[in-house]
A and B are shown apart, each in its own frame.
Chain A
């Protein structure tokens, strides 16, 4: 885990987009300057679906706008295939953007919107016509070229915005929360559609979102941002299964967090005499008596009963405080005295699954050693 930090997997030095120590400070007149992006470095490879994930105000949109050329970094540099983009206006960058509000030109038809970039680059009108048709087919909007954007549904407008950007065959496509204005069903459909388009075109997609589900579903790699910095970078599985910090763990999915002090490399002492065992010697045992946060996902916890499980490690007694029925799953919130913490257990509601306990009941919960990990302080 420590090795991955220095060299993020999946990038090739030189090719693709390199963001090197970029800082962006907004000077607001009369108030404090805002450091939207703070000494941030990233490498994004070719043909990658890369997601910038973070809460609003984390700097992800500012970063995107600096890649597009709509904002200039206060310091640091952005390189594309080794060439600095510094000073290049947006219209000289082989990068196109799908804006959050789509920004379709209301006074132009769908076809004219899609043709706009090609026309500005001075392409032959026959070539433009063919390309427009081809791209509209790619986003499944054949036959709508004559319509005005206002005559289309939100989902269709979204596709026009995609087509307009993709028609230019950019090296990088920037997507600024493009799905946020769509309803849930359409959003789910468009996630797969975007993934398909990325694979079909081979263009690098840089996708900005605050929706962790979107990020996990579509991305090859995810960068979790907070306060203008990258907190964690990696493939979705790694981000979800092994969030490194408490912020990332909280931001992506639900997490149980337990506090304790290491006894040795494999055991954590909790409060009194209770111990939490790890599957491998992962605890820092340099002799320092340092408090640690340990995390486990609710779906990794198990409710156990009977003597058959007595030999399991990390079994604790807990009292059911709350039951939350979610349809496919049921969440059981336990107060576990030995852990000095509340533990949420997520149970699948499959056919023949054990009946969930009642509120107030005392149950036993097992925290499998292999599912535990240590959070950075």
Chain B
């Protein structure tokens, strides 16, 4: 602090110029690392998508353009069943997780300070930190231990629980930026607690809830480890089905399914982002 004060104006200006000239881009190897990152992340994905349109049976040697593999995917009843399972699990689990996350966010932000608030927040967000394999194994042991075997039901419970933090974060962010004055105004205008929530809090929170729902949905659709461990016969979801196909042998059919999954993920994440961005513009 005192050094800064003692610095002459000329020295200060020089330091400023130096600071402006510094850029991480100039670190040796930074550019190369960036290109390597792009290569190793996106080249495989690009190849995967390209070879889904390959006319031959190979997933590595190009012959000609064709949509045959997409036709095959569409006709494959196993894939359809797996996709349906994924949709059911993701649909129900993300809805439940979002509802719970909404109440959790309301309790945390609007409920006023309470004992153990920090602890509650930590436990709520713990699934983001705990390794998924640990959660998966713990759940398998737990479900077996209490003798719970509901088929898809088990999967839905497991997905609901680990999706809550993904739904919670965008809702919490929205609620934090929402001034309590709207709720006070509603109360002042004869709305009781429930009607204040229904007519004011909920509509203003809706963009956050929707973004949370989509994030939870896509997290559930993409999940592999928990689905694999907790699942039983007849609960095969799309990622697990794709994995089982790979063990038989890689054909461009896998490329086609993966491309479709990628497309769905992309659409959902984009929507979540767009909603979040649009709601930032209007309070």
Residue A373, interface by CB 8 Å = no
Contacts A29-B113, A99-B184, A106-B283; A116 near B203 (Cβ below 8 A): no
**A101: contacting residue among B179, B186, B190, CB under 8 A:** B179
Q: With A101-B179, A105-B200, A107-B203 in contact, is A89–B192 under 8 Å at CB? A: yes
The residue that A97 contacts in the complex, of B188, B192, B195, B282, with Cβ under 8 A, is B188
Given A107-B204, A150-B282: A117 and B181 interface contact (C-beta under 8 Å): no
Closest to B191 in A: A120
Taking the complex as formed, is B187 at the interface, i.e. its CB lies under 8 A from any CB of chain A?
Answer: yes
Given the known interface contacts A91-B192, A120-B195, A168-B190, the answer about A97 and B204 at a Cβ–Cβ threshold of 8 Å is no
Minimum distance in angstroms from A57 CB to a CB of chain B: 19
Interchain CA distance A150-B204 in the complex, whole Å: 14
Chain A residues with CB below 8 A from B282, complex form: 106, 150
Q: Does the CB pair A90–B187 fall under 8 Å?
A: yes
When chains A and B are docked, how far (Å) is the Cα of A152 from the Cα of B109? 30
A residues within 8 Å of B by Cβ? 29, 68-70, 89-91, 95-97, 99, 101, 103-107, 116-117, 120-121, 150, 164-165, 168
**How many A-B residue pairs lie within 8 Å, measured between CB atoms?**
65
> B187–A91 contact, CB under 8 A?
yes
Minimum CB–CB distance from A167 to chain B (whole Å) comes to 9
Question: A105 — which chain B residues lie within 8 A by C-beta?
Answer: 182, 185-186, 200, 204
Task: Find out whether the CB atom of B185 lies under 8 angstroms from the CB atom of A103.
Answer: yes
Cβ of B179: which chain A residues have Cβ within 8 Å of it? 101, 103
Measured CB to CB, the nearest residue on chain B to A170 is B188
**How many chain-B residues does the 8 Å CB contact rule pick out?**
20
Chain A residues within 8 Å of B192, by CB: 89, 91
State whether the Cβ of B10 lies closer than 8 Å to any Cβ in chain A: no
> Which parts of B189-211 form the interface with A (CB within 8 Å)?
189-192, 195, 199-200, 203-204
Min CB distance A117 to B, Å, is 4
Chain B residues near A90: list those with CB within 8 A: 184, 187-188
| Neighbouring A residues of B184 by C-beta, 8 Å | 70, 90, 97, 99, 103
A29-B113, A91-B192, A150-B282 given; A103·B182 CB < 8 A: yes
Residues of B within 8 A of A96 (CB): 188-189
**Which residues from B are CB-within-8-Å of A29?**
113
A47 to B33, CA, bound (A): 75
Q: How distant is A95 from chain B, measured CB to nearest CB, in Å?
A: 8
Cβ–Cβ contact B186 & A116, under 8 A: yes
Complexed CA–CA distance, A58 and B263 (Å):
59
Assess the A164–B283 pair: CB atoms within 8 A: no
Complex CA distance for A90 and B193, rounded to whole angstroms: 10
Interface centre among B187, B200, B282 (most CB of A within 10 A): B187
